[in-house]
Structure 1
Amino acid sequence: MAIIYHVTTVAAWNAAKEKGSYEDPSLAKEGFIHASEAQQVDGVLKRYFAGKTDLVKLTIDTDKLKSQLVYEWSPSVQEQFPHIYGPINLDAVISEDPL
């Protein structure tokens, strides 16, 4: 079981649970949902979520993920990140941790 993470707001995650799947705004804008490996989460929080509250970290089992997962190079930080090309099915999220 490979694990990746996605950070979102509590409100967005609650809306996804009502809808039945999760779609980050980046899916419409960029074509994929940004995710991270464990060692990348702190950097993502510092770069993109500094000062924000009401966040949740989703733990995603990639074996259960129905949308395509692709690791792609991010030139801004010189690392590969997991990108999810489609909605995240709720049963792929094995835990949700408040941040």
Structure 2
Amino acid sequence: MRITYHGTPRAWYERLDPAQPYVPADFEREGFIHCTDGREAVSIILTLLYRDDPGEWVVLYIDKEKVQAPIKYEDPAGIYPHIYGPLNRDAIAAVAPIGRSPDGVFLMPPELENLQAMG
């Protein structure tokens, strides 16, 4: 399993139909799903972009080997894949809340193995 991460507001994720593929709120405008390889990198990116958003967020743990839509790395570092299509739900290995410090900084999400052990 090769995991990439996608952060989204909890309220958005919970209002979607779980029988349908996942798409983020900005999918129609952007045409792809932003992802980040690496647990530390996802917390850094979410903090940079959404630190002032007071809402609760969740992180999708996406198994890249199961994603049906094309995945493209378009950044020089090769750690920010874009999924060019709706995300088939069976590619989501786990969904977990992401913690935050009092000043809005997103904490590093737990390792997938730890999530599986909890539930």
Alignment of 1:67-78 (within 5 A): 67-73=69-75
**Inter-partner Cα distance in structure 2 for 1:68 and 1:15:** 25
1:62 maps to which residue? 64
Instruction: Name the count of aligned residue pairs.
Output: 95
1:92 maps to which residue? 91
1:12 maps to which residue? 12
Residue aligned with 2:36, SS: coil
Residue aligned with 1:88, SS: coil
What TM-score, normalized by structure 1, do the two folds share?
A: 0.84
Name stretches of at least 5 consecutive residues in structure 1 with no aligned partner.
Answer: none
1:82 aligned partner, one-letter code: P
What TM-score, normalized by structure 2, do the two folds share?
A: 0.71
- Indicate if the aligned counterparts of 2:3 and 2:61 stay in contact, CA closer than 8 A: yes
Residue aligned with 2:45, SS: helix
Structure of higher RCO (CA pairs closer than 8 Å, 6+ residues apart)? 1
Paired-residue identity, % = 33
Q: Please give the root-mean-square deviation of Cα atoms over the aligned residues, in Å.
A: 1.7
1:42 maps to which residue? 43
Q: Tell me whether 1:25 sits opposite 2:25 in the alignment.
A: yes
Structure 1 residue 17 displacement after superposition:
4.0
Return the index of the structure with the highest Cα Rg.
2
1:42 aligned partner, one-letter code: S
**Inter-partner Cα distance in structure 1 for 2:16 and 2:66:** 17
